[in-house]
């Protein structure tokens, strides 16, 4: 195996890996034997499939897999041993002029592009001054963050009666002006956070509900014509949410 590094510029490099048959043949043969011991094929007892038969049927795919594994290990080891400061993952460099035949006695050559971390040199002395900031958190912001964390990671429960801090899970059904269900209208199952409802009267109408209760809300009034919130809640486009006048 031969691995070389070609620096394109300060931020880019190409690693070339050349493999000879001696580098991969033993690994491929071992993999073929392993497959033959595990194979369950018609005409053969389990684990007794000849290695030559496995090689005939699946040899090339095993060859490709073993070479990929060898390339990955060799490239990572080279980067670590040479202590290369690489940004992101190496990317295979395509070469249309080179098409491997994937024969068992073939020599292979692969190239990988590397993004190199820029060299940064900074010197500091006793004369340099750095501003030290003291971050102050007001109580309102802290309380809001704690509330959100508790809501996101706290234990879920199912209370019998809805309170102002709860999330209601239910079906939103579009109504006609006369209060009946609008045939062919919008129907969507969603979670409604009461703390996101802007209209106090709407929120009050939902507080105290129990499982399987029903309530009628003016969706535009509840969210103060916020098309984004309404579209998310009903699973519709925002343009449609802007013009929606129905109760639900």
Mean pLDDT over 13-29 rounds to 94
Closest CA to 1 of 112, 61, 54, 78: 78
Q: How many angstroms separate the Cα of 25 from the Cα of each of 32, 63, 71, 107?
A: 11, 9, 14, 11
- Answer whether residue 30 shows pLDDT above 90: yes
- Answer whether residue 96 shows pLDDT above 80: no
Q: 23: helix, coil or strand?
A: helix
Pick the CATH number of 2-116 from 3.30.70.1050, 3.30.565.10, 3.40.120.10, 1.10.3720.10: 3.30.70.1050
- Answer whether residue 3 shows pLDDT above 80: yes
| pLDDT at residue 165 in the model | 84
Question: Where residue 98 falls among pLDDT bands split at 50, 70, 90?
Answer: confident
Structure tokens at 142: 């802290």
Question: Where residue 156 falls among pLDDT bands split at 50, 70, 90?
Answer: confident
Q: How many angstroms separate the Cα of 138 from the Cα of each of 48, 133, 195?
A: 73, 16, 21
Phi, psi of 193 (to 5 degrees): -85, 120
pTM of the model as a whole = 0.48
Alpha-carbon dihedral of residues 27, 28, 31, 33, nearest 10 degrees?
A: -110
Give the residue with greater pLDDT, 152 vs 6. Answer: 6
| pLDDT at residue 2 in the model | 94
Give the single-character DSSP code of 223.
T
HEC secondary structure over 123-149: CCCCCCCCCCCCCCCCHHHHHHHHHHH
| pLDDT at residue 230 in the model | 94
Structure tokens at 72: 């990955």
- Answer whether residue 103 shows pLDDT above 90: no
Q: Is 144 exposed, middle or buried (0-12, 13-18, 19+ CB in 10 A)?
A: exposed
Structure tokens at 77: 């080891």
Mean pLDDT over 127-145 rounds to 92
Query: Where in the chain are the domains?
Result: 2-116, 160-243
Residue 145, number of CB atoms within 10 A of its CB: 11
| Rg over CA atoms, the chain | 33
Structure tokens at 241: 């949410």
Number of helical H runs and strand E runs in the chain: 7, 6
Give the single-character DSSP code of 44.
S
Distance CA 69, CA 80 (A): 17
Distance CA 188, CA 185 (A): 10
Residue 32, number of CB atoms within 10 A of its CB: 19
Give the single-character DSSP code of 194.
G
Mean pLDDT over 220-245 rounds to 93
Whose tokens are 């394109």? That residue is: 8
């Amino acid at each position: 195996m031969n691995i070389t590094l070609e620096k394109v510029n300060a931020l880019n490099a190409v690693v070339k890996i050349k493999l000879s048959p001696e580098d991969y043949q033993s690994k491929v043969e071992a993999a073929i034997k392993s497959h033959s011991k595990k194979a369950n094929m018609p005409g053969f007892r389990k684990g007794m499939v000849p290695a030559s038969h496995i090689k005939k049927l699946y040899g090339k795919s095993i060859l490709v897999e073993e070479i990929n594994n060898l390339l990955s290990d060799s490239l990572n080891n080279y980067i670590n041993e040479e202590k290369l400061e690489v940004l992101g993952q190496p990317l295979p460099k395509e070469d249309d002029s080179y098409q491997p035949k994937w024969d068992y006695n073939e020599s292979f050559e692969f190239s990988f592009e590397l993004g190199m971390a820029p060299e940064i040199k900074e010197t500091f002395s006793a004369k340099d001054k750095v501003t030290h900031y003291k971050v102050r958190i007001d109580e309102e912001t802290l309380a809001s963050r704690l509330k959100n964390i508790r809501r996101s990671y706290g234990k879920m429960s199912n209370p019998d009666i809805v309170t102002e801090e709860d999330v209601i899970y239910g079906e939103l059904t579009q109504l006609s002006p006369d209060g009946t269900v609008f045939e062919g209208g919008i129907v969507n199952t969603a979670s409604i956070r009461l703390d996101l409802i802007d209209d106090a009267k709407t929120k009050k109408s939902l507080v105290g509900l129990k499982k399987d209760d029903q309530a009628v809300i003016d969706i535009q009034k509840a969210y103060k014509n916020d098309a984004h919130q309404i579209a998310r809640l009903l699973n519709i486009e925002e343009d449609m949410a802007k013009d929606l006048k129905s109760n639900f």
